[in-house]
A and B are shown apart, each in its own frame.
Chain A
């Protein structure tokens, strides 16, 4: 019966800890502490030196839990990273995730060696362990920190954190390898063979991790869309399975599982897949589960008393990391990427450490490197300081540095297509604001294209069934069922802030008096008009437009500009002209004579 009792206790404890974790997340929003700090705190409180008195110091298990959770968190993070984010930020992210980690590790390592009176190599080992930013911490802080950042900024930080584990693992393993080959005489046995092996390790981590991640991602999309499962609940499980497969397959042949699972998530998340909402929701939950479990376990693993013992040195190392190593790294790697200094300061500040350093810190313990326990404590201390100080202050920093952007209010209700087959349709939720073109219009007045239907309107707490004579009000959420190809048109119907486009010409034009002379035009814009220098635009345009074509809106193309007649007086003289500059790719063929472009601001002849 003893085994069953233990198991029951374990389940009870897990339940209680999860509940405490969830309860602390409620708390988080109110006092602004990042959730992961609270999860850590719950773990520490429940631990052997806290109120809970749970004795847990199984590094192996902690490492397992940490890795599994991180895989889930990275997979979810990948699912929710749009391709546009990657396009704008993969370059700075990549540099930060490779060279950046190396620079941070070197600086922190040198400082740690001095502060902790370690050898250079041991210092570097510590530097490598804390060199990478942590995906779990960065995702949690950026996505639930209550601040919206520009896409490029948040994507740079997120993708960096998702992609820098191979480098950190490479450096850590490298240091451990060299340290364990230390000979008695203090001479390192590091021959060219070992160096090659190390470089090979890094290349394998990166290349195999990336290749496996992308390939399995593609295969996963194919599988999910063609498998035709009968039970909806199996789809998210299928996705998880494919994520784990990606991690495992990459890791088993020497690649980085973290990188692989992240990339697989990105590929799946950016494809049209069956039962997408269900899959996303499930992995959102899985990532939360992973975060709570991981940080609570890490909290359990720490002994506050031991942390106190290394507090002084830990603080110094953390200070070097936060105030010297990370800023120097960011400045050295990102100077070419045209970030503003405010953004650079912010990126420096969000060098959050989390579970990865702690799991990496268990490596030396497993390899039984001398002083590994102390190293672990220092790393743990640094991580806690980073998570608490940087994570906590991130929203304030964002506001102080003005890098935050206004966020859109979330829709009050959502509908989704839950189909187990591929359906050629989308449900899109439009928020109608004061400036939307749809405001104050009846449903039947909206120029909705064929194949588009408004399924529901929500106004405050009410659901309004849409009829032709339902009036759309500002603040409404209009849920539209549409075919994907009609989406741009429907977007236009509900577009916010674009209302001007319907009132003004698509092209912006410069108004000119028709009394300007041809030579002035040439002088100002370098456009040679085929007319005498003294001629006015009025004379020139009338010479180009035969009598029946002389009307408001008539156009004469004089590459690279088009001149539009915008006002004709009662005597038939042109008074006002509009000049539009053609984009290079829009230049019409040389001999296009005339073109009418209706514009709302063109007054009729008077």
Chain B
């Protein structure tokens, strides 16, 4: 699976304003709603579901990366977005560091395979330290999109 298969380009945010966990999630789900990827009426439900998943263990996986995710019936295919918070946000991460880079995923309840493949793709791509670093330094949604494209292209050629 590639980033382009599930990352919605219009909802990428390079400058998150949020300063705590819930508002990060709120801002990112809001971006998905704005782009028409999720129903505005489901907005709150999705945020709740993601926060509930966070309680089982933070999706802050270290290196300044977090991958909040959930399943939710309001989507009929996997949708995701990327956001960068230049200042970093406390996300109860594994390593205690602030998180600058967020991938948020919402998948339909009946497609567990896609959900895992997307998480796998993200964690595999982030093993590339440069990719991770460049993403965090991105100043615009456009830069982020390009980096994702490049990562997809590498995956393709390898």
CB atoms of A87 and B120 under 8 A apart: no
Query: In the complex, which residue of chain A has the Cβ closest to the Cβ of B120?
Result: A581
Q: Which residues of the partner chain A approach B16 to less than 8 Å between Cβ atoms? A: none
Task: Name which residue of chain A comes closest to B4, CB basis.
Answer: A338
Q: Given the complex, which residues of B lie within 8 Å of A520, measured CB to CB?
A: 56
In the complex, A35 Cα to B59 Cα: how many Å?
52
Q: Which one of B95, B129, B140, B150 contacts A497 once the chains associate, using CB atoms below 8 Å? A: B129
List A contacts of B112 (CB < 8 A): 525-527
Size of B's binding interface in residues, CB under 8 A:
41
Q: What residues on A are CB-neighbors of B143 within 8 Å? A: 402
- B81 shortest CB reach to chain A, Å: 16
B residues neighboring A (CB under 8 Å): 4, 53, 56-59, 61-63, 65, 67, 70-71, 94-95, 112-113, 115-117, 119-120, 122-124, 126-127, 129-130, 132-133, 139-140, 142-143, 145-146, 149-150, 153, 157
Residues B127 and A526 in contact, CB atoms below 8 Å apart: no
Minimum distance in angstroms from A83 CB to a CB of chain B? 11
- Are A510 and B61 in contact, with the CB atoms below 8 A? yes
Least CB separation from B58: chain A residue: A511
Q: Can you report 14 residue pairs joining A to B where beta carbons are below 8 Å apart?
A: A87-B157, A152-B149, A338-B4, A498-B129, A507-B127, A508-B61, A508-B65, A508-B122, A523-B71, A524-B56, A526-B112, A526-B113, A584-B117, A601-B95
A570 contacts the other chain (CB 8 A): no
Majority secondary structure, B binding face: helix
Task: Report the minimal beta-carbon distance from B119 to chain A, rounded to whole angstroms.
Answer: 5
Chain A min CB distance to B63 (Å): 5
Partner of B94, one of A507, A524, A527, A601: A601
Q: How far is the CB of B34 from chain A (nearest CB, A)?
A: 19
Cβ of A22 within 8 Å of any chain B Cβ, yes or no, is no
Selected contact of A516 from candidates B57, B58, B65, B124, CB within 8 Å: B57
- Chain A residues near B4 (CB-CB < 8 A): 338
A576 CA to B92 CA, complexed, in Å = 14
With contacts A150-B146, A581-B116 known, is A506 near B62, CB below 8 A?
no
Query: Cβ of A516: which chain B residues have Cβ within 8 Å of it?
Result: 56-57
- Residues of A with C-beta under 8 A to B122: 508
Closest to B149 in A: A338
> Given A338-B149, A560-B120, A601-B95: A500 and B129 within 8 A (CB)?
yes
* Residue in chain A with minimal CB distance to B59: A510
Q: How far is the CB of A497 from chain B (nearest CB, A)?
A: 4
Is A493 an interface residue, CB under 8 A from the partner?
no
- Contacting pair A500 B63 (CB below 8 A): yes
Contact between A512 and B56 (Cβ–Cβ < 8 Å)?
yes
Is there contact, CB below 8 Å, between B116 and A561?
Answer: yes
